[in-house]
Amino acid sequence: MSKKTDKFRKALNQNKYLINLIIILLGIILSILGIVIPNETAVQILLNIGLAFVSSGIISLLTILVIDSKDNDETKELAVWGLEQIYTTRSEMNSHTALVFPAMKKEYCQIAFGVKSLRDAYDGLFMDKVKRGLKVKFITVHPNSIFLEEREKIENKQAGEIRKTIIDLIQWIEKLKSNTKRPDNIQIKFYDSLPLDFYCKIDDNLYVGPYLYGKESQQTISYRFSPNGKGFKYYSNYFETLWNSPMMKELNEVKKEIGYNN
């Protein structure tokens, strides 16, 4: 029943201008008939119905024109920002990144925690890509940050669970560095504050999303922006601003602070 209703609504929407023009035309015809028919009762009935049809058709048509104009403005604004898609979860978003990863050539930039799922799924791919000149930049939370402890509680993780993934990320970054002739292409920086929003840039594909209270990061809404939109430029500039911010700590400094000896 709902499918039939949806089809009916779709048909009405697609033909809304035509339907209202037909109503107006029918009203004009009835009004003309009311004038030419030599019957006073019929004249009153036909004129009243005809004029009502014309009036309601014109009002409805004008209303549709206003609504469509507003919808077009909103659609244009979305197009300017280049919002390509909204994903209910980050896991759903991963189905698109899986298509993008094989063609990755220029750069991979991310703000996240320990990216365990990424490392597990694409370790071999990244090893190959960095050999070919891929540039990698990660921004993550300082392993000793008190804010990281709070995030573990919010996501119902065991104490130290997210911290361990970040330590593992450090180890993975060093592994990538050792696998390329240009280790400076592989970088990671750390911050000690409330968790920043999720950010992932794979060449000309950009994904962003929040970290929500009580939800694991993989179960959180995310967005994808096209490379020609304002959103892509806005978030790319945001990442570079953070990257060059004095709040960021370098890898060697953090390794000393956490006693990393691997």
Sheet holding 135-141, edge to edge: 83-87, 222-225, 205-209, 198-202, 107-111, 135-141, 186-191, 249-250
Q: Do residues 230 and 82 make contact, with C-beta atoms less than 8 angstroms apart?
A: yes
- So where are the chain's domains? 2-81, 83-258
For residue 83, give the H/E element and its range.
strand 83-87
pLDDT (tens, 9 = 90+) of the chain, 262 residues, equals 455 565 656 655 656 677 767 877 887 887 777 677 767 666 677 767 776 777 666 666 666 665 665 555 556 766 788 888 889 988 899 999 999 999 999 999 999 999 998 999 999 999 999 999 999 999 999 999 988 888 888 878 888 899 999 999 999 999 999 999 999 999 999 998 877 889 999 999 999 988 877 777 778 889 999 998 999 999 999 999 999 999 999 999 999 999 988 7
- For 209-257, give the DSSP string: E---TTS-GGGS-EEEE-TTSHHHHHHHHHHHHHHTSTT-EEHHHHHHH
pLDDT tens digits, one per residue of 25-59: 887 887 777 677 767 666 677 767 776 777 666 66
Per-residue pLDDT, 45: 74
User: Which residue matches tokens 């004008």?
Assistant: 62
Q: ∠ CA(162), CA(164), CA(166), 5° rounding?
A: 75
Residue 148's pLDDT is: 87
Count other Cβ atoms within 10 Å, centred on residue 1: 5
pLDDT the model gives residue 63: 66
pLDDT for the residue 1: 44
pLDDT at position 23, please? 78
Task: Please say whether the structural domain 83-258 has been given the CATH code 2.170.150.20.
Answer: no
Residue 5 is predicted with a pLDDT of: 61
